[in-house]
Amino acid sequence: MAVENPDLTVDWLVVGAGAAGMTGAVVAHQSGGSVLVVEKEAVYGGTTAKSGGVAWIPANHRQAEVGVRDSVDEGYAYLKALIGDSVSDARIRAYATRASEMLCFMSTHSHVSYSALPRYMDYYEHLPGYKPGGRSMDNAPIDLRRLGADAGTIRLGHYDGLLLPFNVTVEEGQALQEMNARAYLTGLRLLLRYLLDIPARWKRQRDNRLTLGPALVARLRLSLQDRGIPLWLNAPVRELVRDGSRVCGALVEKEGKVQRVEARRGVLLATGGFSHNAALRQRYQRAPIGDKWTAAAPGATGDAVTMGTRIGAALGFMECAWWSPTYTIPDGRVLALIAGKSNPGSIMVNRQGRRFANEAQPYEDLVKAQYQSEARGEGAIPCYLVFDATYRGKYAVGHLKPGKVERDAGIPRENFTSGLLTKADTLEELADKLQIDGAALSQTVADFNHHARRGEDPGFGRGATQHDRYYADRTVSPNPSLGPLETPPYYALRCDPGDLDTKGGLLCDEYARVMDTGGKVIEGLYAAGNASAAVMGNTYPGAGATIGSAMTFAYIAARHAFAGDEQEST
């Protein structure tokens, strides 16, 4: 038996048009299936389109070109040391062995084009199997116009038009941050390329050269186009349909009508996380959480969790997220603070005017430390990134261009009136404006400066790891992440314990099959990406771990449904 009176029958129904969904669609189609992708928003791309698009792929086929030697065993050893037994060993092993297989497949059968970043290191260098670069991978840029009519419905990138008029790749962004002769040359080259795109400038279009997450989304969308895979926009899935215990399709809302879609081989839930669902967050996560601090796309409302639990699916890691400090700018955008927190001349403090962590550590760990400070009663939500005029002059932070490019007078006033940005001539005055302990702040800065001049941070060890130094200022020595805050005026940027999306969701096995609360597989139902309980558990191994795992388990799901991988490997 199948869906009664279906409006449409396909082999594979994909719910959600982000990295996981569109990858799963390509793989199923290449395996001979008929595929439909449905997306509830009016634009496609989800949080993937807001992202850096980096994918973390151990033992990938592009590493040799940048002189990195890696192996599946080393990738597995690193993941296992970090994740431990919190995730099934079979699932960790599946990721370590099949991420590179997924990448080869997608490089051959789609427009996806990744290259290895030789200096983008794993986050935990003390662990076995660690690599100082090569696993985190960047997308090749692509011209938006290649998408034709679909160019109009792609989600905009996270920083679109904020800091620069043109888009940059990871390496270009890194070069620009260095603010040296090479940076100016890179900037000039990119600006000229942007300006010389006369037809686009004439029509006042955004930069058509897409990079980062939007490039990945465009490449995936183009791959669907080539294959004639339909993508319905404004088409939320409302309910899964079962035949006995097997999922055999779904009810999709389209143009005000319910479409009964039968899916012969299965349904892939790739709906992202639940970061915009305040009720789910408050139920599963630590107070005072809500839905305001996330940088995820608005479609991340936990529909997989809602629909899956209705039919008995088990959940995992619901208390977790891909944490990152965030802050909300006057136009309402929530930005992730990933780079600016590592540069010299800055610290983060709680309401007691004290540092609570190594600010340069991985963003996930920094937010965990922020919650710990809050739990100790120190008042760390929000906390403040405090920096001096030297820092302000040299570095971009979030949406603020370096002071030598844009003076304070050019910063829209709402940044100050909203309390996002505070400025004062002395640390005492700054503390007064923030209503935090001024004496403690002055003492914190004095202590920090004393050690920072020598390149030391005895309290928190900032700048000791390759990770801490990656986002810092390599021209500063002896420690690129440390420098005193000594030149007034002083500034404070208010930061929340935000996230890039949640990482809890439907509990899956190593074939991305959704499990029920009794530990049995729900036949016909697969999940990947942030709709599923993360293979990374409560950890973040390196840049690209979320997109890498989203694409890998979508690949595994489609291979299982179409190519019988389970039989092959058992």
Ligand X SMILES: Cc1cc2nc3c(=O)[nH]c(=O)nc-3n(C[C@H](O)[C@H](O)[C@H](O)COP(=O)(O)OP(=O)(O)OC[C@H]3O[C@@H](n4cnc5c(N)ncnc54)[C@H](O)[C@@H]3O)c2cc1C
- Catalog residues that contact ligand X under the rule CB under 6 A: 15-21, 38-41, 46-48, 50-54, 158, 236-237, 270-272, 295-297, 299-300, 303, 322, 336, 500-501, 529-531, 543-547, 550
CB nearer to ligand X: give 295 or 349: 295
Cα gap 22→32, rounded to integer Å: 16
d(CA 335, CA 326): 5
Helices (H), 256-362: 278-284, 303-310
If we measure between CA atoms, which residue out of 91, 237, 115 comes closest to residue 169?
A: 115
The nearest distance, CB 51 to ligand X, in angstroms, is 3
Minimum Å gap between C-beta 549 and ligand X is 8
Residue placing its CB nearer to ligand X in the complex, 361 or 530: 530
Smallest distance, Å, CB 54 to ligand X?
4
Residues in the chain: 570
Cis peptide before 382 (omega within 30 of 0): yes
Q: Which is nearer to ligand X, 51 or 259 (CB)?
A: 51
Tokens of 348: 């983060």
> Residues 6 or more apart from 199 whose CB is under 8 A from it?
none
CB of 128 to ligand X, least distance (A): 23
CB of 310 to ligand X, least distance (A): 13
For residue 215, give Cα distances in angstroms to 51, 194, 208.
10, 16, 10
State how far the Cα of 25 lies from the Cα of 12, in Å rounded to an integer.
8
501 or 510: CB nearest ligand X: 501
**β-sheet with 55-56: strand ranges across:** 55-56, 136-139, 114-116
CB of 385 to ligand X, least distance (A): 17
The helix/strand/coil state of 124 is: coil
Task: Identify the DSSP state of 154.
Answer: B
Structure tokens belonging to residue 49: 């389109």
- Shortest reach from residue 18's CB to ligand X, in Å: 2
Which C-beta is closer to ligand X: that of 207 or that of 303? 303
Q: Considering the complex, what minimum distance in angstroms separates the CB of residue 528 from ligand X?
A: 7
Contact by Cβ (8 Å): 249, 6: yes
- Taking residue 143's Cβ as centre, other Cβ atoms within 10 Å add up to 15
Residue 272 or 497: which CB sits closer to ligand X?
A: 272
Task: Give the nearer residue to ligand X in terms of CB position, either 351 or 559.
Answer: 559
Tell me how far, at minimum, the Cβ of 215 lies from ligand X, in Å.
Answer: 11
Shortest Cβ 300–ligand X spacing (Å): 5
Estimate the crossing angle of helix 545-563 against helix 19-30, to 10 degrees. 30
CB of 37 to ligand X, least distance (A): 9
Neighbours of 376 (CB within 10 A): 12
Cis peptide before 541 (omega within 30 of 0): no
Q: Is the CB of residue 24 less than 8 Å from the CB of residue 231?
A: no
Q: Which is nearer to ligand X, 53 or 403 (CB)?
A: 53
How near is the Cβ of 362 to ligand X at its closest, in Å? 13
Distances (CA, A) of 294 to 19, 169, 336, 463, 471: 18, 23, 8, 27, 22
Residue 188 three-state SS: helix
Looking at the Cβ atoms of 482 and 543, the one nearer to ligand X is: 543
157 vs 403, beta carbon nearer ligand X: 157
CB atoms within 10 A of CB 147: 19
Give min distance, CB of 282 to ligand X, in A: 20
Are the CB atoms for 560 and 29 separated by under 8 Å?
no
Give the end-to-end CA distance of the chain in Å, rounded to a whole number.
Answer: 29
Residues with Cβ < 8 Å from 21, sequence gap 6 or more? Answer: 14, 15, 37, 39, 46, 268, 270, 271, 528, 529, 554
Of residues 33 and 53, the one with the C-beta less far from ligand X: 53
Letter string b/e over residues 56-68, b meaning 16 or more CB atoms within 10 A of that residue's CB: bbbbbebbeeeeb
- Which residue number, 52 or 524, has a Cβ lying nearer to ligand X? 52
* Shorter beta-carbon distance to ligand X: residue 299 or 353: 299
